Amino acid sequence: MTIQKIAIAGSSGRMGRTLLEAVTQAGDLCVAAALEMADSPFLGKDAGELIGSRNGVAITSDHEAALRGCDYIIDFTRPAGTLAHLEVCRVAGVKMVIGTTGFSAEEKDLLRAASEDIAIVFAPNMSVGVNVTLKLLETAARVLNEGYDIEIIEAHHRHKIDAPSGTALRMGEVIAEALGRDLQRVAVYGREGVTGERDDATIGFSTIRAGDIVGEHTAMFAGSGERVEIVHKASSRMTFAMGALRAVRFLQDKPSGLFDMQDVLGLR
């Protein structure tokens, strides 16, 4: 069995440490590089120490040198960092699993362009449960297509910097696509003051940032006399890490192309 060499971006962060643990425990994968920003206090330290052991991989900010010896990078960082890794991976032929959120439309176009040369799984949420939830939302929206107001409520920890979450936005996109609507035109992000009656076509978003909430998402279809709620709650970041490892394995025979977790899980 060939062991696949994995680079972990943002290795000292909450998600980075979870990814280090997941890859270390996998028999077919190994941590070959651990990346951090140039001002990180962890530079030069053994990445294994972040999860209570040693693995001989020094944390570095030199992503060009580190990625040359890797087969994949798993990146749950920020758009600027992911895009810097993207260019290096494209040249070096390193496949990418990207869970970063907050990309602009133009930045997403850069991912699509790079996927002509390398294989990429790009998904706002790697959780298997969340992606099953997205499939359920597609079905619900097609059936509850008249007489139901749609609201999406999401909650995350106090350190999350983008809102709504990428997962909440993807939920909105899936629902809007099923209803034949353009999310950019019908989305309402929060309400305040005298807003008037609700427009039937809108899809509302509400955001909570508090404490150490890992991630909670609710899609509400509220009609006259009944309400349908489809809910996903994550209690551990390991669920995202395990989904990322499934994405790595999915890409093994893919030379190029842009995929998401619906592809990985065979939900298309």
Q: Give residue 2's pLDDT.
A: 87
| DSSP H or E segment with residue 63 | helix 63-67
CA–CA separation, 132 vs 205, rounded Å? Answer: 20
Residue 5: is its pLDDT beyond 90?
yes
CA–CA separation, 231 vs 129, rounded Å? Answer: 10
Annotation says 63 is catalytic: no
Residue 215: is its pLDDT beyond 80?
yes
Q: Tokens 């749950």 sit at which residue?
A: 76
Examine the domain organization and report whether 205 and 110 are in the same domain.
no
Please compute the mean of the pLDDT values over residues 213-228 and round it to a whole number: 97
Query: Residue 78 belongs to what domain range?
Result: 4-122+237-264
- The predicted-structure confidence for 106-120, as pLDDT tens digits, reads as follows 999 999 999 999 999
Residue 191: is its pLDDT beyond 80?
yes
Residue 6 structure tokens: 């994995």
Domain count, the chain: 2
CA–CA separation, 80 vs 132, rounded Å? Answer: 29
Tell how far CA 175 is from the center of its chain.
Answer: 18
Examine the domain organization and report whether 168 and 198 are in the same domain.
yes
Annotation says 157 is catalytic: no
The CATH number linked to 26 is 3.40.50.720
Residue 266: is its pLDDT beyond 80?
yes
Examine the domain organization and report whether 183 and 245 are in the same domain.
no
Examine the domain organization and report whether 226 and 251 are in the same domain.
no
The CATH number linked to 213 is 3.30.360.10
Examine the domain organization and report whether 230 and 241 are in the same domain.
no
CA–CA separation, 215 vs 242, rounded Å? Answer: 16
CB 35 within 8 A of CB 63: yes
Give Cβ neighbours of residue 54 (< 8 Å, ≥ 6 apart). 46, 48
Examine the domain organization and report whether 218 and 196 are in the same domain.
yes
Examine the domain organization and report whether 177 and 253 are in the same domain.
no
Catalytic residue among 63, 85, 95, 156: 156
